[in-house]
Amino acid sequence: MDISTMVIVAVIAIIAIIVGIAIGFITRKKIEEGNIAAGAKSAEVVVAEARKAADTIRKEAELEAKDVVYQGKQEFEKETRERRKELQAIEKRVQTKEESLDKKYEAIDRKDADLQRREKDIALQEKKAKEMEAEAAALHAAQKEKLEQIAGVSAEDAKKILLDEMEAEAKLEAGKYLKRIEEETKAEAEKKAKDIISVAIQRYSGDYVSERTVSVVSLPNDEMKGRIIGREGRNIRAIEAATGIDIIIDDTPGAVILSGHNPVRREIARITLERLITDGRIHPSRIEEVVNKVEGELNQAINEAGERAIFDTGLHGIHKEIQKLIGRLKFRTSYAQNVYAHSMEVAFICGVMASELGLSTKTARRAGLLHDIGKAVDHEVEGPHAAIGAEIAKKYGEVPKIVAAIGQHHDDKPENIYGVLVQAADTLSAARPGARKEMFESYIKRLDDLEKIAKDFPGVEKSYALQAGREIRVMVENQTVSDEGSVVLAKDIAKKIEQEMSYPGQIKVTVIRESRAVEYAK
């Protein structure tokens, strides 16, 4: 093949390639244009649907907004109407009050004018009254001066003489009246009262246990004091902390003193110390162990004492807490008289007196046994023991008449009949000679005070305190004090003793007036 032919063939091949490329480009362009047209058509459809959906959402939102606006408008109008009604009501009330205040102001103005007029009238009347009073005072002074000149006695002296005569006459009449009442009352009541009291005393006799406010623990030797104190005082501090009782270690040979207001804690301390001394092991841990053990034993003893008291008196249905308080009275004293034994005696005396009077003996014994339960806690609770005991009895379900008897057994005039019985039995048990004891110094002072109080009254010649200070006899001058006056004098002395002295039981005041005729045979 020659060169020209080859050139022609190459040219033809190149032309064919170019034509193929052109045809491919045209075909591709047509395909792309078709795809673009189809995509544009599809996009137009999507845009149309989106616009349609957007219109729908917008319309719904507009409707909801209009609905919310409408509801808000309705609520606002409703609230506005209600507020308008409230404001109208308030305005009406304010208007009514203003009218009322106007009327009141008018009335006050009228009253003010009336008061001013009356004040002027009263001022005139006061002026006239003062003038009349001055005239009357002048006349009275002139008459008084004339009377003093005629009588020869001043007005003050005359007034004093008149008052003294009236007082003496009143006392005389009162004495006669009191004497007549006492004679009539004694004629009817004395025999019966004596019979009841004598029967009660004869049918019961109790033992008394004397205790002091301190307890003494004996020691085998004085060396034991050092062991009780311990190194740097740790043992004695441990005992005092565990028991709450003060331990006094002084020069007293062979003994230490336990001091405390709580008798139960003092008993715990006494037993604890005795056991420690017997055991010989005295150190803080052993002290705590023994104190805990003694507390348990003593609580058991208190419960048993309460049970025994309830059993001995034949009572039942008493609350366990009250039973414990009765047992605690075994370690409580009053003027050295054991309150547990005193309560038992009062219970039996009450029962005997109730039997004689035809009353319930069990109720009387119950009131007598419980009358001093307030003393079991009176060092812990403020107030008189009678009121404390009544509150405790009420708290634990005692009947009202028992509560009243406990609360009233120290009143002047108990309203409850069982309160009267308890008061009488309490006095019998406490006032019997030997039942209660006092310090010698206070005993002597009480006797001196008794005699001094009696001697301070006019007309008293001598006074003597008898029966350990439970009776005072007063000798009066025959010419100064009459029989009726002696009755008044006895009551005045008794009243002054009650006001100025403190003493257990009661004190009998006896005024003696004698008439003596003396003549000598020559």
Q: How far is it, in rounded angstroms, from Cα 515 to Cα 365?
A: 48
pLDDT in tens, 443-455: 677 788 888 888 8
Q: Are 424 and 498 in contact (CB under 8 A)?
A: no
Tell me the sheet residues that pair with 510: 473
441-512 is a CATH 1.10.10.10 domain: no
Token pair 């009755």 in the structure block, residue: 487
pLDDT for res 204:
46
Tell me the sheet residues that pair with 471: 466, 508
What are the domain boundaries of the chain?
Answer: 6-106, 214-431, 441-512
For residue 243, give the nearest of 256, 260, 228, 226 by alpha carbon: 260
Which amino acid, 169?
E
What CATH number is given for 214-431 in this structure? 1.10.3210
pLDDT for res 207:
37
* Residue-wise DSSP of 114-159: HHHHHHHHHHHHHHHHHHHHHHHHHHHHHHHHHHHHHHSS-HHHHH
63-79: average pLDDT: 84
57 pLDDT band, cuts 50/70/90, is confident
pLDDT for res 197:
60
Q: How far is it, in rounded angstroms, from Cα 399 to Cα 370?
A: 12
pLDDT for res 92:
87
Centre a 10 Å sphere on the Cβ of residue 281 and count the other Cβ atoms it contains.
12
pLDDT in tens, 87-116: 888 888 888 888 888 888 888 888 888 888
Q: How far is it, in rounded angstroms, from Cα 7 to Cα 48?
A: 60
Residue 426 has pLDDT above 80, yes or no: yes
